[in-house]
């Protein structure tokens, strides 16, 4: 970004959304733009105020700063004519600076407040911006162009998308960017060709929504070309093709049991034989999603058939889960266990462990027992090891997601995919690496992707079903250029957020060790870097915050808290689930001699809500500022508030210490008048779906009231804190959400988060 940090941009956008919500009435009515005469009057004043700064702004950085200044003033201006004119001026100056972020923000606000032809206005601004494009502005411009093309496809405006792409191909310099644009162009041509074939049928449906022939043609286009199954199935259910009508009706009615889902998958697979090549592929991929959803419950020949068809489908493209609308963490569906007889108990391991991973959305701690050549699966709800899986030797790497775990054998570079439900191997592939794999990592509550890395070569993100590399366009925000997925040597450490959308990396054999993150926003991987040594780096479950031995940072490696004061007193570690963190005292803390104390914090906040004594925990040490251990301090503490458990791993590596910690009960006993949000919102959701987020608010006084202060116009919150939103098709943008929360004593808390809609 030019002239300002992305964190500042986020704050600006947040203020912008708040203003819009105050300005617009309950029906979100838009204003009529001012007349040309009104704009000219305003422009006279604007020239008087800003002309000296504009003349002096000779660099793109200076122009960007001026555009932001005018944009900020526009937000504080009540007069419609002045506000509209200032937004337009801010956009025009940002165009000259080739700053697509400011251009987009100004147009977004203009569209929210005024009746404008948003696609036309945005296209004209983007076209003008691209002509001023430079190598430094290219990454953000590439995102803006591809976003516009997706929205144009949703409107079936292929002419506008092609026009923008053709101009971009002339003005983009990086070969990688040009390659991406060429791919988008080819996709648009293919979809446009299919669209032309159903244009007449779409017109028919405008006159007669129940026309059978038109519904069949449009339904096939939406399902098999556009992959819009939510709307396409409704068309097919009213169509003239009897087989398609039966299958679509069956799926729309909903399926609860394994056999019905397997039967539906069979029908889609068999029907694919009646379709042309590309449409047949989409039908098979859709069938494969149903096979995938029930694979662990099938047996014998039925399972073998599903596995074979899944493998064939995975060679055709990505299998998208049918039962997950969002793409974030899968909740751990468990009942809270009974309190332990003692608040603290020790579970002795059958052998010492050398490494540990979390899986099953926090259900399992998985230990590598080298002496036994096994992985041991400790069920935190049953408080015991419930399964062992053999490994060939200690020379393996392993990681786990929400439903599966993965074992990579070195130096053969073989990756195995296993089920966390049946503990059976599902598939085996050769890793796409030349050198022996050093690191594999995925989000413990996600369905991928999996990071794999080896020394002296680039790393890769793999699809969790096909185990094949995903083609991410990497944008390096430190150098504002195309980047790459870093590899990993023996001294490299990699961590993933539970939802699998943010990865953190550092090295232990150099100084500084580096602080790198990858934030995934398909099909782009944004990478950020800070040249410093952070010790351990552990992402929060939602990937928004990075907890390090030096303090708490954003996933863009920016300072989040007053970290100089924080890291001087304690080491912070995010909870496995929920919106909490743990503060572990330093062994040289002069104020707190008892290092068995720990602090409980709400994630991202500076002050603890509770202090817990008598915890079996290793105190923080000077060595934690370097993070060289395999089992760093952050890997020895696991707080699972939804299981009422705090788990610590003593340095002997031979036991697990379980602490029963009912946080809400402890808070009530403490007498603290508390009100806070204990949940984290899903950060991403697919367009055309339905967003649901149940807020978990903790309050001593109760009688909670909720209000959406800022967010998408159609977002609602119920009296019991259920946030819902029907996402428009084709949406591909970020939404800042603010929920105001009040308790019975009129205490107030604010819950803010970002939701990204993906195509």
| pLDDT per position as a tens digit, 601-654 | 888 778 888 899 999 999 888 888 888 889 999 999 999 988 899 999 999 999
pLDDT at position 622 is 82
Q: Per-residue pLDDT tens for 103-147?
A: 988 998 888 889 999 999 999 999 999 998 877 677 778 878 888
Q: Per-residue pLDDT tens for 282-293?
A: 999 999 888 887
Other beta carbons within 10 Å of 147: 17
pLDDT at position 596 is 86
**Lowest-pLDDT choice from 236-240, 350-354, 515-519, 623-627:** 623-627
CB environment 589-612: b (16+ within 10 A), e (fewer): beeeeebebbbbbbbbeeebbbeb
Q: Whole-angstrom Cα distance, residue 569 to residue 232? A: 57
Q: Whole-angstrom Cα distance, residue 218 to residue 227? A: 12
Identify the structural domains of the chain with CATH numbers, from first to last. Answer: 6-194 (no CATH), 205-314 (no CATH), 344-670 (2.130.10.10), 675-758 (2.60.40.10)
Q: Whole-angstrom Cα distance, residue 191 to residue 162? A: 12
Which strand (E) or helix (H) includes residue 750? strand 748-758
Q: Whole-angstrom Cα distance, residue 751 to residue 530? A: 28
How many angstroms from the chain centroid is the CA of residue 568?
31
Other beta carbons within 10 Å of 58: 8
| pLDDT band for position 297 (cuts 50, 70, 90) | confident
Backbone angles phi, psi at 87, to 5 degrees: -65, -40
Q: Is the dihedral of CA 756, 541, 442, 435 positive or negative?
A: positive
Between helix 80-96 and helix 100-113 the angle, nearest 10°, is 160
Q: Per-residue pLDDT tens for 523-581?
A: 789 999 999 999 999 999 989 899 999 889 989 998 887 566 555 568 999 999 888 99
Place of tokens 């020949």: 301
Instruction: Give yes or no for a contact between 321 and 330, defined as CB atoms under 8 angstroms apart.
Output: no
Tell how strand 675-677 and strand 637-640 pair up. unpaired
Is 168 a residue whose pLDDT tops 80? yes
Q: Whole-angstrom Cα distance, residue 179 to residue 727? A: 30
| Residue 558: DSSP 8-state | -
Backbone angles phi, psi at 446, to 5 degrees: -120, 175
Closest to 104 (Cα-Cα) out of 72, 51, 145: 145
Q: Where are the beta strands (DSSP E) in 477-535?
A: 481-482, 492-496, 502-507, 515-521, 524-530
Instruction: Give yes or no for a contact between 398 and 405, defined as CB atoms under 8 angstroms apart.
Output: yes
Instruction: Give yes or no for a contact between 649 and 588, defined as CB atoms under 8 angstroms apart.
Output: no
| pLDDT band for position 22 (cuts 50, 70, 90) | very low
Give 425's strand partners: 418
Q: Whole-angstrom Cα distance, residue 292 to residue 305? A: 12
Is 486 a residue whose pLDDT tops 80? yes
């Amino acid at each position: 970004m030019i002239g300002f940090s992305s964190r500042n941009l986020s704050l600006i956008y947040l203020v912008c959304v708040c203003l819009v919500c105050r300005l617009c009435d309950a029906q979100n009515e838009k204003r009529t733009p001012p007349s040309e005469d009104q704009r000219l009057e305003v422009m006279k004043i604007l020239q008087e105020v800003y002309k000296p700064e504009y003349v002096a702004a000779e660099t793109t950085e200076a122009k960007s700063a001026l555009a932001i200044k005018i944009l900020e003033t526009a937000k504080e201006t009540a007069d419609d004519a002045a506000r509209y004119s200032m937004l337009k001026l801010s956009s025009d100056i940002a165009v000259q600076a080739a700053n697509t972020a400011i251009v987009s923000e100004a147009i977004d606000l203009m569209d929210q407040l005024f009746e404008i032809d948003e696609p036309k206005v945005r296209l004209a601004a983007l076209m003008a911006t691209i002509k001023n494009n430079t190598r430094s502005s290219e990454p953000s411009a590439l995102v803006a162009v591809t976003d516009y093309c997706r929205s144009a496809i949703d409107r079936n405006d292929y002419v506008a998308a092609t026009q923008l792409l053709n101009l971009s191909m002339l003005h983009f310099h990086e070969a990688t960017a040009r390659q991406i644009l060429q791919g988008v162009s080819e996709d648009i041509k293919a979809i446009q060709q299919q669209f032309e074939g159903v244009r007449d049928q779409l017109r028919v449906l405008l006159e007669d929504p129940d026309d059978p022939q038109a519904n069949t043609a449009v339904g096939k286009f939406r399902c098999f070309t556009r992959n819009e199954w939510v709307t396409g199935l409704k068309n097919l259910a009213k169509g003239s093709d009897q087989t398609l009508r039966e299958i679509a009706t069956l799926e729309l009615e909903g399926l609860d049991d394994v056999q019905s889902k397997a039967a539906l998958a069979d029908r889609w697979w068999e029907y694919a034989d009646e379709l042309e090549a590309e449409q047949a592929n989409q039908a098979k991929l859709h069938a494969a999603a149903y096979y995938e959803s029930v694979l662990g419950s099938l047996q014998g020949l039925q399972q073998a058939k599903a596995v074979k068809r899944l493998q064939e489908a995975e060679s055709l493209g990505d299998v998208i889960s049918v039962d997950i609308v969002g793409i974030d963490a899968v909740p751990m569906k468990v009942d809270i266990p009974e309190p332990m007889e003692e608040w603290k108990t020790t579970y002795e391991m059958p052998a010492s462990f050398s490494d540990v991973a979390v899986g099953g959305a926090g259900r399992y701690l998985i230990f590598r027992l080298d002496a036994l050549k096994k992985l041991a699966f400790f069920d935190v709800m049953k408080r015991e090891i419930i399964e062992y899986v053999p490994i060939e030797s200690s020379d393996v790497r392993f990681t786990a997601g929400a439903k599966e775990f993965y074992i990579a054998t070195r130096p053969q570079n073989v990756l195995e995919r296993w089920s966390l439900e049946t503990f059976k191997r599902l598939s085996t592939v050769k890793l796409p690496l030349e050198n022996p794999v050093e690191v594999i990592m995925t989000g413990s509550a996600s369905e991928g992707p999996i990071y794999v890395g080896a020394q002296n070569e680039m790393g890769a993100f793999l699809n969790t079903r096909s185990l094949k590399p995903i083609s991410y366009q990497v944008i390096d925000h430190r150098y504002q250029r195309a980047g790459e997925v870093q590899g990993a040597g023996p001294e490299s450490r990699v961590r993933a957020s539970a939802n699998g959308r943010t990865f953190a990396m550092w090295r232990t054999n150099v100084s500084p060790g580096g602080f790198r993150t990858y934030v995934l926003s398909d099909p782009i991987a944004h990478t950020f870097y800070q040249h410093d040594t952070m010790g351990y780096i552990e992402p929060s479950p939602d990937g928004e915050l990075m907890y390090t031995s030096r303090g708490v940072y954003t996933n863009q490696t920016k300072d989040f808290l007053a970290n100089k004061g924080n890291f001087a007193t304690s080491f912070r570690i995010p909870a496995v689930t929920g919106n909490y963190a743990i503060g572990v005292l330093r062994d040289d803390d002069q104020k707190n001699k008892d290092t068995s104390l720990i602090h409980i914090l709400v994630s991202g906040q500076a002050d603890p809500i509770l202090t817990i004594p008598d915890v079996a925990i290793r105190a923080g040490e000077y060595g934690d500022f370097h993070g060289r251990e395999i089992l760093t301090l952050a890997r020895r503490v696991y707080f699972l508030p939804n299981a009422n458990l705090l788990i610590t791993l003593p340095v002997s590596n031979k036991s697990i210490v379980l602490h029963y910690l009912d946080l809400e009960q402890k808070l009530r006993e403490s007498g603290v008048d508390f009100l806070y949000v204990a949940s984290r919102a899903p950060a991403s959701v697919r367009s055309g779906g339905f967003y649901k987020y149940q807020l978990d608010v903790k309050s001593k006084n109760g009688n909670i009231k909720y209000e959406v202060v800022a967010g998408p116009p159609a977002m609602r919150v119920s009296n019991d804190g259920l946030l819902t939103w029907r996402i428009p098709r084709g949406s591909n943008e970020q939404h800042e959400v603010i929920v105001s929360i009040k308790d019975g004593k009129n205490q107030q808390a604010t819950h803010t988060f970002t939701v990204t809609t993906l195509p």
